[in-house]
Every structure is written in structure tokens, then in C-alpha cells.
């Protein structure tokens, strides 16, 4: 994406800019300077629009467009309804409105004294399209040029917004990439490249994971020709124990021997969504030089049916030593994460652990596509995550943990089954993971199956991959893990 650019507000440029010009107005207040100049250039068209019943009916943050306005060189003049005392939600909404209208032309956004961060971030988040796989892709979307009164204050705010937007776009690109292009090896190579940003990166291969005893993770990968990888990214912007963020990276999920139905299986390229969010978060921390100690881990495997693949009824020994009875090979993500959780706790002794995974279809039945499920063993951490999600406008809802879900996954021939059946499927999946978290360790599991890829527009994105989680976890780290 094109970097977000700040420039001093030059009222004369409003007449000569050839792309889209964006101004703001409040029907209950005098026109701001930029809107007033555009009104003069268009011989009163802006004032007439702002005084119209159509503009009065708009919610704050929404807007209308005047095409090819007389008296201006602009292709379009967009007028956004927004007051000088707009809420954070209204600022985000204004950004979404601006981003939704973005074309290949540059947009000159006359912010003047409005706070730039949320508007610029959400305009960039909404102005996204994935065309890497098209034979004749469209040209890139145009730049956003932000005209501001105080350029010294706006420049760092826009740089921060740019770091977040780039990282969310990275997540979307990764989730959209097909499995024959982005596999375990190419994804690991891309992660290794993040060392250029200052991240310490280590990639463990099959032999190294075997020596560690990660046989639950390796069992998922044994039916694929794509070798398993465990990528570890460290951003050490502060001293002390780290926060560990772990992502499920199933590059493609057929279900294994417990084969999924064919209809819709093509969407299982998104089953590495948790890993993508983890990678995007680590990039964001590096780009903005966060004063936090965070370690990101992603387990990269492919779940395929093959003569070598694990079978329902098999037993595997986890790194922790628990014997897992495999009831369904399509409940594979928890087998990847359980070894990762044990490894992270032992290796890094973190302050807390948070895992992200497109883990269960059951969470979609429970919460739909607007909220991620938050399972957490610590009320303080749960409240912090939900507060961060609310602050950035990403949907999340706390889900229950409890001994009743543990009983559902007790095994008669081993220590634990990898699924407890259909009832409370997302809760029993979280209960399985909870067994691999040390006593007293704050831990949260975010089931993002419903929010990672959507068939319609989400809060910040066009349909498709949303990048849910980068903003929430970044906000959590700023509030609770920096300093």
C-alpha cells in the first residue's frame, strides 16, 4: 500500500487537485475552512448539499459525493458528515467511508484540525483489494494525502496508522493466498524476511521438533509432502518476561482422513489465519518500535489424507507427555497448538500467553461472523482483551471454560480425546488447550474462525480476509504490556 502522507493544509490546492477531494461538514455548525473554500469554488454547491435532507439523514461518518464539481479540477468532491467533537467510532466510520470510495486516483483529505490517526487508519484498512493472482490486475489504489493544520503532530500519528494498516493488509494477503502458492516452506521463508525489520527469527524443522517431542503437532503434518515448520519471532523492545502470542498455521485443511465435505473446502486456505494475525502483529510491533517484549510463534503444517496420515483412533504423545486419543483428524488445530503452548511456557516463561486460531465451526454457530470467541482463565486478561477489542471496533465475546467441558474430552484409553463431539464444540476445543497451560499462567484462546474470512463487509474490510486481531492485540500490548 502507498504510505500515508501528511502535508500542510493549502486551500488553493483544493481547486487544482485532480483526484478526489474530501472535506467535512456538520449541519449544525459553520462550514470548516476547507469546506467553505470548496463551497466558494463550486458557487454554493457544498452549502446546498449540507443543508439538504439527504445530508441531514446521514449518520455521522457517512457522506455524499458530488461528481466532477464545477469550479474544481477534482474528479469528485466527497463531503463527510462529522463534527469537531466526533467520537472514536464516528472517526473510524468516516475513515471507512473515505476508504470505500477510493479508486486509482489520489485522495486529498482536508482534515485541518481533525485528529488524523483513526480516520487515516480506517480509510487505509477499507481501501484494500487482493489481485495478486489475477492475470490482468487493476492498477494499485491511489494514495491518501492528508492536509492538516499541525503537520508535526500529524506525521507520527500517520506513521503509526501506516504501520498498523500495512500489517493488517499483510494478514489479508496471507489469508487470501492459495495453498499451492503459500505453503509451509514459502510462509516460513517470508517470516524469515521479517528479520530485516529487527525481529529475531528462528525456524524449527521436523527433526528439531521431533527432538523436542512435539509429536502432536507432527502427527497432523505426517500426511503431507509439505514439511512442518515452527517459526519463532521475538521483538525485544523492553526487558522482562515476554508476552507470547501463538498462531495456528494449517496452510490447508482437508480434514485429513476425517475428510471434510467438498463444498466450501476451497476456503480452507484460511485455516492459517491465526498464524497470519500473529505474523502481522509482530510486523506492526517492529514497524512502530514498540516498547514491549513479545514473542510470536506460528506452527505451520498441512492436514492431508495420505497413506502416512494419522487415523481416527490413533494415539499420540504430546510434548507435555499427555496421551491424546485422536477421535477426529479434522480436530487438528488443537494438536498443533497444544505442543506450541507447552513449548512456549517452558522455553520463555512468559507473563501471559494468547493463542489465535480458526479452530471451530462451532464458534460461527455461536457468534456468527461479527465476533471472535474469547476463552480465558484470567478475568483481568479477559477484560483487557475485550476492552482492547471494543476500543478499536473489533467484535469479541467471552465464552466459558469449565470442568464440565473437561469431562467431555476425557479419554478411556488415553489421557484426553481431541474432540468431545458436537455439543459445545468450541468450548471443548478450548478446554483441550487449557490442559496444556501451566497452573497459574494467564492464558487466552481466541477462536477467530468466524471473523477471519467473511462473505460480506466486516467492520474494517471489504468481503474476504479481514485481518481481525492485529488491531486488538496491538491495542492490548500498548495498554498492558508496554513501558
**For residues 189, 190, 195 and 198, what is the CA-based torsion angle, rounded to 10 degrees?**
-170
Q: Nearest CA to 147 among 11, 325, 269?
A: 11
CA distance 54 to 49: 8
Surface-to-core class of residue 456, CB atoms within 10 Å of its CB (0-12 exposed, 13-18 middle, 19+ buried):
exposed
126 part of the active site: no
Q: Nearest CA to 465 among 222, 132, 82?
A: 132
172 part of the active site: no
Task: Pick the catalytic residue from 320, 334, 435, 480.
Answer: 334
CB–CB of 187/275 below 8 Å? yes
Task: Pick the catalytic residue from 7, 260, 317, 398.
Answer: 260
CA distance 224 to 63: 51
CA distance 420 to 133: 39
| Beta-sheet strand order (sheet of 20-25) | 5-8, 144-148, 107-112, 20-25, 76-81, 63-67
Q: Catalytic amino acids?
A: 260, 334
Amino acid at each position: 500500500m502507498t504510505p500515508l502522507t501528511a502535508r500542510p493544509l493549502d486551500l488553493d490546492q483544493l481547486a487544482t487537485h485532480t483526484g478526489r477531494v474530501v472535506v467535512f461538514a456538520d449541519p449544525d455548525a459553520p462550514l470548516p475552512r476547507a469546506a467553505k473554500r470548496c463551497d466558494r469554488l463550486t458557487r454554493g454547491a457544498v452549502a446546498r448539499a449540507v443543508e439538504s435532507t439527504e445530508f441531514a439523514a446521514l449518520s455521522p461518518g457517512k457522506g455524499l459525493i458530488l461528481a466532477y464539481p464545477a469550479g474544481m479540477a477534482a474528479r469528485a468532491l466527497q463531503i463527510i458528515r462529522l463534527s469537531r467533537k466526533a467520537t472514536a467510532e464516528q472517526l473510524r466510520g468516516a475513515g471507512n467511508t473515505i476508504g470505500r470510495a477510493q479508486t486509482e486516483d489520489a485522495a486529498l483529505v482536508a482534515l485541518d484540525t481533525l485528529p488524523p490517526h483513526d480516520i487515516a487508519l480506517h480509510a487505509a484498512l477499507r481501501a484494500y483489494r487482493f489481485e495478486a493472482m489475477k492475470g490482468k490486475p487493476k492498477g494499485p489504489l491511489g494514495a491518501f494525502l492528508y492536509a492538516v493544520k499541525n503537520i508535526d503532530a500529524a506525521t507520527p500519528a500517520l506513521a503509526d496508522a501506516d504501520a498498523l494498516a500495512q500489517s493488517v493488509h499483510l494478514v489479508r494477503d496471507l489469508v487470501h493466498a492459495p495453498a499451492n502458492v503459500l505453503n509451509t516452506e514459502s510462509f516460513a521463508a517470508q517470516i524469515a524476511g521479517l528479520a530485516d525489520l529487527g525481529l529475531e527469527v528462528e525456524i524449527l524443522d521436523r527433526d528439531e521438533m521431533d527432538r523436542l517431542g512435539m509429536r502432536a503437532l507432527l502427527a497432523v503434518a505426517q500426511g503431507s509432502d509439505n514439511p512442518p515448520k515452527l517459526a519463532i519471532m521475538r521483538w525485544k523492545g523492553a526487558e522482562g518476561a515476554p508476552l507470547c502470542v501463538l498462531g495456528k498455521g494449517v496452510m490447508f485443511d482437508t480434514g485429513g482422513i476425517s475428510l471434510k465435505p467438498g463444498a466450501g473446502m476451497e476456503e480452507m486456505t484460511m485455516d492459517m489465519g491465526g498464524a497470519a494475525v500473529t505474523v502481522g502483529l509482530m510486523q506492526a510491533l517492529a514497524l512502530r518500535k514498540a516498547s514491549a517484549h513479545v514473542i510470536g510463534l506460528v506452527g505451520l503444517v498441512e492436514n492431508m489424507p495420505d497413506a502416512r496420515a494419522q487415523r481416527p483412533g490413533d494415539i499420540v504423545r504430546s510434548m507435555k507427555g499427555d496421551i491424546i486419543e485422536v477421535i477426529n483428524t479434522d480436530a487438528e488445530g488443537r494438536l498443533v497448538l497444544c505442543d506450541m503452548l507447552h513449548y512456549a511456557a517452558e522455553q520463555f516463561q512468559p507473563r501471559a500467553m494468547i493463542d489465535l486460531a480458526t479452530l471451530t465451526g462451532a464458534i460461527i454457530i455461536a457468534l456468527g461472523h461479527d465476533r471472535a470467541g474469547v476463552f480465558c482463565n484470567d478475568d483481568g486478561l479477559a477484560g483487557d482483551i475485550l476492552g482492547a477489542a471494543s476500543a478499536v471496533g473489533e467484535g469479541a465475546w467471552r465464552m466459558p471454560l469449565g470442568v464440565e467441558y473437561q469431562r467431555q474430552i476425557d479419554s478411556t484409553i488415553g489421557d484426553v480425546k481431541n474432540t468431545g463431539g458436537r455439543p459445545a464444540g468450541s468450548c471443548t476445543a478450548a478446554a483441550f488447550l487449557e490442559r496444556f497451560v501451566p497452573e497459574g499462567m494467564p492464558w487466552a484462546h481466541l477462536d477467530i474462525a468466524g471473523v477471519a474470512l467473511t462473505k460480506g463487509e466486516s467492520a474494517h474490510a471489504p468481503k474476504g480476509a479481514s485481518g481481525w486481531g492485529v488491531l486488538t492485540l496491538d491495542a492490548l500490548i500498548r495498554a498492558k504490556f508496554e513501558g
